Amino acid sequence: MKSNRVTLITLGVRDIARARDFYEAIGWEPSEVQDKVVFYDMNGMKFGFYLLDGLAEDTGMPIEALKTGAMTLGQNFPTEAEVDAAYDKALAAGATEVTRPEKIFWGGYSGYFADPDGHLWEYAMNPFWELDGDGHLK
């Protein structure tokens, strides 16, 4: 089995309903919903949200120590116009603008926003990465 793989990404959130509502507003469909967790199927892996108190209990870390961290999540789109439309949809759903999408020095186009719990997302068009019809990297 390959080591360079991810099967689950879980983000800590303060309010499951708020997180689910935000992600549904930008077009995501949950595959499993429970009181303290929501999961989404993602091309052979899972992406989820877990209440911070449950994450603190599981990890043995206090909630105050569980921060969003210095990382971003990214989603690529085939065109700049699709980046702009998805970015505006996220803002309308309650995201906080970090940087508006713009042309980037390396030849792409991207912008950042924070979801309601402060998790950073980059929406981008990378001319060097081809996407299939479902938006997956080829």
**Higher pLDDT residue, 40 or 62?**
40
Same fold, 1-67 and 68-138: yes
The CA distances from residue 94 to 76, 108, 109, 118, in Å, are: 20, 25, 22, 11
| Chain CA centroid to CA 51, Å | 16
Answer whether 86's CB lies under 8 Å from 100's CB: no
pLDDT at 128: 94
When pLDDT is cut at 50, 70 and 90, the band that residue 135 belongs to is confident
Answer whether 74's CB lies under 8 Å from 120's CB: no
Reported pTM: 0.87
CATH topology of domain 1-67: 2,3-Dihydroxybiphenyl 1,2-Dioxygenase; domain 1 (3.10.180)
Contacts of 39 (CB under 8 A, 6+ apart): 30, 31, 32, 33, 46, 47, 48
pLDDT, tens digit, 9 for 90 and up, residues 74-122 = 999 999 999 999 999 999 999 999 999 999 999 999 999 999 999 999 9
- The full set of domain ranges for the chain reads 1-67, 68-138
CATH 3.10.180.10 fits 68-138, yes or no: yes
Reference 43, options 76, 67, 8; nearest CA is 8
